[in-house]
A and B are shown apart, each in its own frame.
Chain A
Amino acid sequence: MHAAEVQNKTEAAPGDQVNILMVDDQLAKLLSYEVILADVGANLIKATSAREALEHLLKTEIAIVLMDVSMPEMDGFELAEMIRQHPRYQKTAIIFVSAVHLTELDRLKGYEVGAIDYIPVPVIPEILRAKVSVLSDLYRKTRQLEELNHELERRVEERTAALEAAMAGEREARIAAEAATQARDDFLSVAAHELKTPLTGLRATAQIIARKLKKSDAEVPPWLSNGLRAVDEQSGRLARLIGQLLDVTRLDQSKLPLERPATDIAALAEQIVTSFTARTTRHRIVLTSEREVIADVDSESIEQVLSNLLDNALKYSPEGGRICVEVGSISEGQIFIAVRDHGIGIAPERRGSIFERFYQAHADDHRSGLGLGLYISQQIIAQHGGEMIAEFPPDGGTRFVVRLPVHATSRAARHHP
C-alpha cells in the first residue's frame, strides 16, 4: 500500500478524542486495560497481534500504543521499530507492558526503538491511567499546536499574498500616474510652443508697425501708438503667463535648469527697472543699489523673480505711486533684493498663503493672474539656497525681500541635489 493511500484512509478520532491502540496476544489483558482506561476519554482499539496492530496503524491515527513486549510471531520490540520507521508515527507514544522482569539492557533496547515508558506487571491501574492520561493530553495539545501553526502559516500566506497584490496595485497606479504626468508635461510643452509661435508673429508685427510709423515722420495719433504698445506689452505678458504654466510643472519635478555663473545683480536690476519704467506712466520706480552686487545666480531665473515682483508691484498699486527697488550686500556672504510698493497691500488674513501655488490674494478683483508668480519666485530662490519673505509696512503696500547666498552653497545642493 502506498503512503498516499494510507494517508487518505486514515481518520482522526472525532473531535478531540485520541486513539489508543492496545496490543496483547491475550484478550483478557486487553479487556482489563479497557476497563482501566475507560475514564480517560480516549478511543480504545484492541489488537491481539502485531499484524493486527499494524493494520490499525495504517488506517487510523494513533496517539499511544500500549503493547506487550512478548508476543508470538513478532514481539513488541520489532513492532515498535516498524512503527517508528513510519514518519507519521514519529510522535506516537509507545508504552511497553512487560510480565517478565526486564533487565536494564532490555529497557535500553526498548528506548532505542522508541519506547516512551515501561509499565511492569502486575499493572497498577492508577499508574497506567495516569500515564495514558498525561500522554493523550500531550498528544492532543501537540496536535492543537500543529493545527494552530498551520492556521498561522495559512494566514501569513494569505496576508503576504494580499500585501503583494496591494503593492502590485500601487506600483501600477504609480506607473499610471507617472505616465499621466509625462503626458501632461508633453502636452503643456507642445501647447506652450504652439501658443508662443503666433504670439511671436503678433508681437513682431506690432513692433514693426510702430517702428515704421516712427520713421515716417507722420503725425501718429496717440490711440494708435498706445494701441500698438498695448499689443506689444500684452503679448509679452501672455508669453510670461504661458512660461509660468510650464515652470510650475517643472518646479514640481525639480526639472528647472539652473546655471549659476557669477552675475552682477545690480546691473540686472537696473536693466529690468529700465524696461518696467518704460511700461508705466503712473508709477515712479526708484532703484537704490550698491555699485556692484555679485552673486552666483541663474540670471534668467532671477530676472524672472524680479519681473514677477515688479509686475505685482505695478498691478497692486493701481493708483500709481512710488515703487522702491533695493539691491545690496548684507553680512555673511549674502546679498538682498527688495521690492516695495505703496499699493493696496494684502489683507492680514491672506498674508499666510501668498506663496502657495495657485493662491490669489486678490481673487475677488480682476487684477489676478494665475496665482503662480510668487510661488515660482519663491521656489527659484529656494533652489538658489536663498529665501524670500513678504513684509507688510504699517504705512501700506507690500515689501518683498529676497536673500541670496553670494556663492552657490552646499546648502542649496543639499536641498536640490
Chain B
Amino acid sequence: MAAIDQQPILVVDDDDTIAMTLESFLVEEGYKVMVAHNGKEALERAEASSPAVILLDMKMPVMDGWAFASAYRQQDGPHAPIIVMTAAHDSRQRASEIAADGFIPKPFDLDELLALMRRYLPE
C-alpha cells in the first residue's frame, strides 16, 4: 500500500503518549510518519521532508499550533493540508482560527481520524 517514496505524515503533539500512539497506528496502517513535539520541531521536519498531511495539536510549549501554522505557510513550496487535533472545547473555532483544512476533537476515534486524514491524502 505504501510506496517507498511516499510523503510522510507529520504528527505534531507535545503529549508523548498521543504522539507515540499515533505514530505506531499510522505506521501499522502503512504510512511513513514524522513526529514533532512542538511547532519549532515541526517546522524543521517539514523543511527536511515535505509532508503529505500535518496532524497538528494546538496547545504546545516552545511554539504552539497558531505560530506553527503561520510560520509554515510563509515557507516556500507547496503546503500540506493541516488537520487540527485539539482537546479545546471549541475545536472548530480553533481550526478556523488558523484556516485549517480539517479538525477532529480529542479524544478521537482512530478510524474517524484515519477517514478524515485520507480525504486530504493524494490517491
Chain A residues in the interface with B (C-beta under 8 A): 189, 192-194, 196-205, 207-208, 211-212, 235-236, 239, 243, 246-247, 250, 257, 259, 300
Contacts and interface: CB of A to CB of B under 8 A. Distances in A.
B106 to A, nearest CB: 4
Contacts, number: 73
B87 A211 contact: no
13 contacts: A192-B87, A197-B18, A198-B15, A204-B17, A204-B25, A205-B17, A207-B109, A207-B111, A208-B21, A208-B24, A208-B110, A211-B28, A239-B107
Contact of B107 (A199, A246, A259): A199
B24 A235 contact: no
B88 A189 contact: yes
A200 B108 contact: yes
B89 interface: yes
Contacts of B18: 197, 200-201, 204
B106 A257 contact: no
Contact of A202 (B25, B92, B107, B111): B107
Nearest to A208: B25
B21 A204 contact: yes
Interface of B: 15, 17-18, 21-22, 24-25, 28, 59, 85, 87-90, 92-93, 106-111
A211 B25 CA distance: 9
B107 A243 contact: no
Contacts of B17: 198, 201, 204-205
A197 B106 contact: yes
Given A193-B59, A197-B15, A212-B28, A204 B90 contact: no
Contacts of B87: 192-194, 196-197, 200
Nearest to A194: B87
A300 B107 CA distance: 15
Contacts of A193: 59, 87-89
A132 B28 CA distance: 117
